[in-house]
Structure formats: C-alpha cells, structure tokens
C-alpha cells in the first residue's frame, strides 16, 4: 500500500500564508493610491466635461476605504443622469473614463505585489 506524503503540501500552504501576509499591506497601498487618483481624476473630469453648475456634485465625490477595498464616486443623487445622460440630455461620462485610464497601472502594480509576495 502506498503512503501519502503531504509535507510538500504543508510547505506550500505555509509559503502561501506568508505570501498573503506580505501581500496585504502592499495591496492596500496600491488600492489607496488608485482610489486617491480616481477621486481626483473624477473631479477633474467633471470640470472638463462642463458638468459643474452649483458645485454640489463635484463636492460630493468622495472615497470610502475599507480593508483591501475602496469605493469612489459622487453621492449627488443626479450624478448618474449626468454621467449616462437622459432622453433630453446627452451623457457626460466623468467616472468610467478615469477608471479605464487607471486600470492598466492598477493591474501592473497588483502584479508586482504578487511577484514580490511570492519571491
């Protein structure tokens, strides 16, 4: 009867646990930087697409941070209508263009986090 040797699996599990502990603070830095860039870029874009009337929507753009997450966007109830448009008004996208612009750098930075954590 063959015996199973799980020592290599235990070593791998320990290595992955250590990698996760190493990766989390680095990933948090990347998330925080990207969220900050997204917030400031969104505010710039709102101005660039001429979507400032009273300044309420512009000033409502904020970031809520959590552990390994961040939510960025305006809280003005009408922001979605400005962004997407209505039957009477064309959309003036201000969030998604900035998000698309930041995505490659975010993905590259997260790839570096993974590489550093596994080495």
- The least confident of 23-27, 93-97, 105-109 is 23-27
Q: Where does the pLDDT of residue 8 fall: very low under 50, low under 70, confident under 90, or very high at 90 and above? A: confident
Give the mean pLDDT of 50-65: 97
Q: Where are the domains of the chain?
A: 18-114
For residues 64 and 72, what is the distance between their CA atoms, to the nearest angstrom? 7
- For residue 2, pLDDT over 70 is answered with no
Percentage of the chain lying above the pLDDT 90 cut: 76
- The least confident of 3-7, 17-21, 67-71, 115-119 is 3-7
Angle (CA) 38-42-48 rounded to 5° is 145
């Amino acid at each position: 009867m063959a015996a199973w040797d799980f020592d290599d699996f235990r070593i791998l599990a320990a290595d992955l646990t250590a990698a996760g502990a190493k990766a989390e603070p680095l990933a948090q830095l990347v998330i925080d930087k990207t969220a900050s860039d997204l917030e400031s870029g969104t505010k710039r874009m709102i101005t660039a697409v001429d979507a400032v009337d009273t300044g309420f929507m512009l000033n409502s753009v904020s970031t809520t941070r959590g552990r390994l997450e961040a939510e960025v966007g305006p809280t003005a109830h009408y922001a979605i209508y400005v962004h997407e448009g209505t039957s009477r008004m064309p959309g003036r996208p201000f969030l998604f263009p900035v998000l698309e612009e930041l995505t490659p750098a975010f993905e590259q930075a997260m790839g570096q986090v993974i590489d550093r954590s596994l080495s």
